Structure 1
């Protein structure tokens, strides 16, 4: 039975279904570069009609390659696929970026090149914007006095650092290539062990509540030094339930050192470097409380340099100041690390002796008295000191203890100076 649809009709249907109604822009070229057929989508892409394109050669609109290069490419197309990027000029003169996939085939005895063309202008624009944004972020990151970072905890508990800015190299003394691979162990091992539990506690709290993370901790730099780091970051929950923190790490070592210096200045006598009266009072209260709690003895010494006013009057305050510094240094060299040495005022000083009874305290005072008396002072020759010694009584206040040691010192002076009294 003869077919009701002839071959020409079948061909028309196939071209219509496969070519004209394709979602892609398509053009079929002859090997000489002329257009065999272009579908409406490709014509619209370039702003021509299909009939107009039928009178062109491919080099009439392709501007990336020369006519000679295009001729050579057309001659080498076979039945294997090829892909390349190019640029094409529209009818209105504007330029579009395009991605071309080609495949050669013989159709009705003629070598044809079937081309699928995709307009990539928007994609290229987006890629360029992303590249520019990335460069901008990298430039910003290099100006940040620290390091930008991301830290992720996956649902299975796996941890990683997806990103570190270059600032981390200086922060931790690592080479930038050491940060690739985001090995958590290499980074976290730099935390001082005593700081690690608190960091983990804050991390878990931030993960469970998605609350801001803030911590100050210490790391060991590659050069062996200890650096203080401040970390601030904000967590987000990702689609796969991972938690990722994005934040900043700052080296606050200088700030911590400055704060420590200010703290020391606030509790230290400016001339002698020992505890000032305010700090000594605080420590006295603390040691009394501890002695009462653990039922341990506590002794207090008070000493005063004999006839010190005459030193200042005769030799001047600079010489007097040097004498005070020398005396406090001598005392420091002859007491324990747990003992507390403070300047009470003028040439009066206190020494607090934890876990020490009265007899031992008297021995300490006598040793200090002899050490001071035996030391040769520049310009002055010798200086002597008088000592008062007391032991804390049950339930005694710091005020009462200080008053009693002052009375003991007064008695030492009344009885001739350069002596120890209780």
Structure 2
């Protein structure tokens, strides 16, 4: 290299030695014209050692032929690319190169600015691996991970949801491709959507945990139960973003419904059991008092039922109980309730029904049972007691009175209806009495 003037020396020093990036000037034959200390340090050499090297001594990505061709073709418009270079100790680094060709003192040189991007590449690779890991985890989650955004202007969107959202809701690609949340949210049943929206608004204000269970119309037309858990965060622009998970809990809901049904249903007849009937009775008494409407109750008992079991066996007796319960259910209103009180005793609750109408219902049920032809048994009969709820009467008193009315029906010959008229002493001081 020709000797440099004082001004040129200052210029080279300013450009090279004080530059933040590594810099190297190459001849078109691949040898080093000059390298700054930062670049020499980057590769683990001294600047003097660098002068004895050619670019293919440290570049690992391109062959000598390729590098010579590149050096010949670099012009003033520059070239930008990434490559990998070998350090003196044998380790490699990733670098980003910006090259420009220019003539200096009659010789074409290639000026290279070199930036070590190894850490950046490692970060990118770690992020890629993390993203793959998260995507892998998300694909194994039995549901869908999601982010739901509510912007200050009220618009809604899903910035992210995992692949499981398509299967969870049976959604089409068209529904998932847009930016609006409406195509997805419209699958929530309207009666449940009101509650979901209320919970969203509440947690948006408090930034508290969101939890809701709601039904959706799946893409296949079925109704599915979805459980949602998420935590909201407020962003700088005022948007609220909920990050969480959606789970299909349809099977769990069905199991819960079965357990509940078992808890309130008589195992033999399939009608309400005594515990649930008592709950319904308390509820109807409160409602009758609140709205000042009549409420009546029927209690019936199968006549000589023990003889049926003794003669034909308990299986035949069970068939009779099942058939009678169905006969009664088929002949009462949808607002009426029947429950098995115990053994062959049954109760029927008649909301908004006075004593005379209740007596008529009991008589109708008595005839339905008496007219039915049972296998093996031919016919059986039942006795009925009927009462109407009195002012300020409780469930225990009402049940006691209907039991006494039934006892009177059996005492008077069975297969009949008896009513209990007065639950409290009258003005003459006489006690309660059946009709």
TMscore range, shorter length: over 0.9
Residue 269 of structure 2: aligned partner: 272
State the superposition RMSD in angstroms.
1.9
* Runs of at least 5 residues in structure 1 that lack an aligned partner in the other structure: 1-6
Post-superposition shift, 1:175? 4.7
> Which deviates the most, 173-182 or 225-234?
173-182
Query: 2-side partners of 1:82 and 1:236: how far apart?
Result: 45
Query: 2-side partners of 1:122 and 1:285: how far apart?
Result: 73
Going from structure 1 to structure 2, the CA distance change for 1:39 and 1:175 (only over 3 Å counts) comes to: farther
Post-superposition shift, 1:200? 2.3
Kindly indicate whether residue 84 of structure 2 is the aligned counterpart of residue 87 of structure 1. Answer: yes
Query: 2-side partners of 1:154 and 1:25: how far apart?
Result: 46
Deviations, residues 233-255 of structure 1 (Å, cap 9, x unaligned)? 22233344433222122222222
| Residue pairs, 1:16-55, within 5 angstroms | 16-55=13-52
Kindly indicate whether residue 247 of structure 2 is the aligned counterpart of residue 243 of structure 1. Answer: no
Which of 150, 153, 158 pairs up with 2:150? Answer: 153
Residue 224 of structure 2: aligned partner: 227
Residue 299 of structure 2: aligned partner: 302
Which of 316, 319, 339 pairs up with 1:319? Answer: 316
| Residue pairs, 1:174-193, within 5 angstroms | 174-175=171-172, 178-193=175-190
Query: 2-side partners of 1:242 and 1:284: how far apart?
Result: 50
Which of 105, 109, 112 pairs up with 1:112? Answer: 109
Query: 2-side partners of 1:37 and 1:207: how far apart?
Result: 62
Kindly indicate whether residue 16 of structure 2 is the aligned counterpart of residue 15 of structure 1. Answer: no
Deviations, residues 91-140 of structure 1 (Å, cap 9, x unaligned)? 11100011111122222222222111111110111111111111111222
4+ residue runs over 6 A deviation: none
What secondary structure is seen at the aligned counterpart in 2 of 1:118? strand
Which of 333, 341, 346 pairs up with 2:343? Answer: 346
TM-score normalised by length of structure 2? 0.91
Verify the 8 A CA contact 1:35 1:58 in the aligned structure 2.
Answer: yes
Kindly indicate whether residue 390 of structure 2 is the aligned counterpart of residue 393 of structure 1. Answer: yes
What secondary structure is seen at the aligned counterpart in 2 of 1:80? coil
What secondary structure is seen at the aligned counterpart in 2 of 1:416? coil
Residue 291 of structure 1: aligned partner: 288
TM-score normalised by length of structure 1? 0.94
Query: 2-side partners of 1:96 and 1:251: how far apart?
Result: 48
Which of 313, 317, 337 pairs up with 2:334? Answer: 337
Which of 362, 365, 368 pairs up with 2:362? Answer: 365
Number of residue pairs matched by the alignment = 417
Which of 253, 256, 269 pairs up with 1:256? Answer: 253
What secondary structure is seen at the aligned counterpart in 2 of 1:186? helix
Which of 141, 144, 155 pairs up with 2:141? Answer: 144
Verify the 8 A CA contact 2:95 2:117 in the aligned structure 1.
Answer: yes
